Every structure is written in structure tokens, then in C-alpha cells.
Amino acid sequence: MNQSTNMNIKTDIQEKLAYLPKNLQNLFNPNLAIFDTNVLQCKQQTDGFAFLPNSFVQTLLQQTGLNKTELGLTLLPLATSYAISPVSNFNVGAVVFDSKDNIYLGANFEFTDTHIGQTIHAEQSAIAHAWMRGATQLSLLVIKHPPCGHCRQFINEVRLTKNFKIVLSNSDTQVPKSLSYYLPNDFSGNNLGITQKILDDVYADYIYDNNKQIFNNDCKRMALNACKTSHAPYSDNKNGVALTFEDNSIITGRYAENAAFNPSLPALQVALNFRRMQGKNWQNIKKAIMVEKMAKLSQKDNTHQLLTSINPQIDLEYILIK
């Protein structure tokens, strides 16, 4: 990482920290976050504090005297600062805790020059962020307003702890409530005999390609791995993408299917969301690869359409496997 990039990241982090109370700003030292990974015990240099590991979360709880719910509410403005809303101009943030008390931030993500269904909701953003970082269960979701029906159904597809709760910042009482409170008499994979959930450890060894030489570089192999670890128990339309950016980093995304179909989250959105939550430029893509398993559905056209709306010069390399 060059010095200019370091300075840009530092400035961006400093701007985001302004959304926090002063006592928290002092603990979120941007200089330490960029130049001393030992302080947060994670690769935090370019992540803009969108991911807070358990070790740092415990420090925040001890130093501030806040409980988990209060900390989540305090971090909500920081999460909201990641929002990209050129259509609605309505910024939404989300904070999720996993079962190990790691924290993942998320925010709504809108795209222009494409259809409105490509949008990523804040709750989806935080959950996808947690998924790509290896979370296995979620225990707490903090948001400002009640989740929309789309997000309630999306959350219902995720592996949650038995005591998972949702807390609203705009509620007078801010009492944690269960998902069943917001989604009674739910429809889920259980109705279809499917027990697999998003966040489960899934690796489809049965997916292969007859020509192994096709996967002859890291980007292609990473896209294949994203495909194999995607969540598509209803259609078997497993797919994943790998994006190479101008800084030569490679970000992957995998498909997150939903029992109700429409609340599913495409692989490209998962990748773009992860890049954005790293605090990096998500538009300077120079190469895109998609690997998709043959099925009755295909995500190819929607993926290509969103990709070209970001940059018409980007070619999508598409690999269909059996």
C-alpha cells in the first residue's frame, strides 16, 4: 500500500469516527488502526472499523461501561456512514454481533442505471459482511427502524443463536425482541425440508469441471471456491464471483438464496458489499469472473447487467460447470 493510499484511508476513517461519541473516538485511534495491526489484533488497516473483533469489542465494553446492546446502538451511526443511497437519499445502517461477540457493520447500497431490485438492504449488508468473514451464528441485530418484510425473510434464512434478538434505536424502550415477533407464522426452508442456513459451513465437493485447466489462476480458483461455498439449497444454482481491483486485490462473493426466492442476494452484490465495508473503492474493477453451476436458473444476465452499469468497459468472464 503506497503512502497516498494510506493517507486516503486515514482521512476516510477519521471522518467516520466523527459519528461516534468522544469517549469512543479516543479508543478508535485511526493511526493505530492503519499502522499497527497488533492493537486490534486483526488486519484492520483498510477496513475502516466495519469489522470489530471480539478482543477489541471487549475493550470497548470494559472501557465505556456499555453493555452489548448499548454498544451496538452507539455504533449504529458509524454503520450508517457506509451507506450509498444515490436513489433514495435515505441512509440506513445495521450492526450485527455473532455468537463470539465479533461485530460486523452494514449499510444500504443502491445502484444507478440498473433496476431497483439490485439494491442491498442494510440488514443484508451486515449479514453478508459477517458471512464473508466466517461468522457461524448471529446473536444480535441493531437497526434504527423495524426491518422491512424483505429483510425479515432474509434474516429468517440465516443461522441464528436460540436467543437471537433485534433492537431498534428509534424505539422508546429499545427492548430486544425475537425474529418471531417481527415474522410470526414464518415460511422458511423448514417447510420445504431444507435445514441448511446461510452461515453454515457448506462446501460442494460434487461440483467439478471436466477441463481442470480452465481454473488456471488464483482469480478463477477463488471464483470456483465461492461457487462451491454458496447457499442455493432450493434451486441448486450455486454460483460465485471473483473481482480483481486496480490495487490487484481479489474479492469474492457467493450467492445467498432464500426460501422465498426474491429476498435472495446475488454473488456480485455480496462481493461489492464486502469491498465497500473494507473502506476501499468498489468501482475500480478491472476483471470479473463468475462461476455458475448449471441449473434451471441463471444469475449470469443480472450479474453482467449490474457490472456494466458500474463500468461498461468491464467484461464478465463466465464459466458454466456441471
Catalytic residues: 123
Cβ neighbours of 228 (radius 10 Å): 20
Strands 138-143 and 285-293: unpaired
258 touches 157 (CB < 8 A): yes
9 to 98, 205, 296: CA distances (angstroms): 26, 39, 43
Helices in 183-229 by DSSP H: which ranges?
218-228
Sequence-ordered list of residues with C-beta below 8 angstroms from that of 265, at least 6 positions apart, any chain:
120, 124, 128, 154, 255, 256, 258
Distance (Å, whole) CA 84 – CA 78: 13
Distance (Å, whole) CA 109 – CA 92: 9
Q: Which of 139, 125, 127, 29 is nearest to 81 (CA)?
A: 125
> How is residue 174 written as a grid cell?
429499545
> How is residue 198 written as a grid cell?
446461510
> How is residue 23 written as a grid cell?
469517549
- Report residue 132: phi and psi, to 5°: -70, -15
- What is the rounded radius of gyration, in angstroms, for the C-alpha atoms of the chain? 19
> What does the DSSP assignment read for 171-210?
SSS---B-HHHHS-S---GGGGT----BTS----TT---S
